[in-house]
Amino acid sequence: KTIDNATRMDVNNLDMFVTNHGSYAWDLTTGNSGLIYPKGSTKTAVFAAGPWIGAKVAGDIRIAVGEYSQEFSPGPMAGGTFQPDNARFKNYKIVRGDVTSYDYVNWPVQDGAPVDSLGNPALLGDAMIWSVYNDADPSVHTNDAGFTDPLGVEIQQSTFAFNRAGALGNIIFIRYKLINKGGNQLDSMFVSAWSDPDLGGFTDDLVGCDTTLSLGYCYNATNSDAQYGGATPAVGFDFFRGPIVPTGTPGVNDTLGMGSFNKYINGTDPHSSNETYNYMLGLNSDGTPVHVFGDTTQPI
């Protein structure tokens, strides 16, 4: 398959690997962490990340995960399923001011790549990577956290960033366009931003969330880190704009924020589609609610 693991979003202070089959912030070529901060250093803030999708089809849970293995294949769907491999299904990276690059000139409009009113590549930010992939190939659903029949979802991914001072210089945006092309009715569907955030030295990381900002974050437990020393950053995943859904009132929509935040430590990874789906719902892996301090006598 046309697996593209080497493209990097590196237009600002961050340097992040982006693939064309779901995984990002992971250097799959070497197996090392894939989000370098600051750019040009050897310090890393995230080991790996990717999307999780879970839904029910006729009452049965179906999962597609992008984590330590990817249950997605490059390319768009056609005829309700995946297409044979094509070199065209690669990452396309365009940069502001460069209209002569191969990727700009060969922008894959036919595969869903966005264009402006003139039909030119619709650049977001100062640099953008666009790719499309899907979960329709049953042969790649081999991760024990998934291992179900495909959902039949195509994902068009735009990864972009701004070369600016201030906060924008420390942000990478990822915009997903999910299209149900498999012919299945997907009920109770959830989409998660999964990550293994090794913030410098990985033995002293803590995580939390801010429900008012739809933000999940990772920070250092002490004022000293094996990589960053005493100036340890924090790293976060923020739903700037979640899914847009109808409210039941004609013409009125709602934008969903973060529906749940969950974490698990090494050794408590999900090992079935049911466990993965429960984690996505904000529950323990066995489907029981999460209590304060893990104590069932404490509040949920």
Express each pLDDT in 204-233 by its tens digit.
999 999 999 999 999 999 999 999 999 899
Average pLDDT, whole number, for the chain?
96
- The structure's pTM equals 0.96
The arithmetic mean of pLDDT across residues 44-59, rounded, is: 98
The least confident of 52-66, 156-170, 178-192, 240-254 is: 240-254
In the block, tokens 């065209």 appear at 88
Q: Give the pLDDT of residue 136.
A: 98
Closest by CA to 280, choosing from 55, 24, 50, is: 55
Confidence tier at 246 by pLDDT (50, 70, 90): confident
The arithmetic mean of pLDDT across residues 28-57, rounded, is: 98
Q: Give the pLDDT of residue 144.
A: 96
The arithmetic mean of pLDDT across residues 21-41, rounded, is: 98
Confidence tier at 165 by pLDDT (50, 70, 90): very high
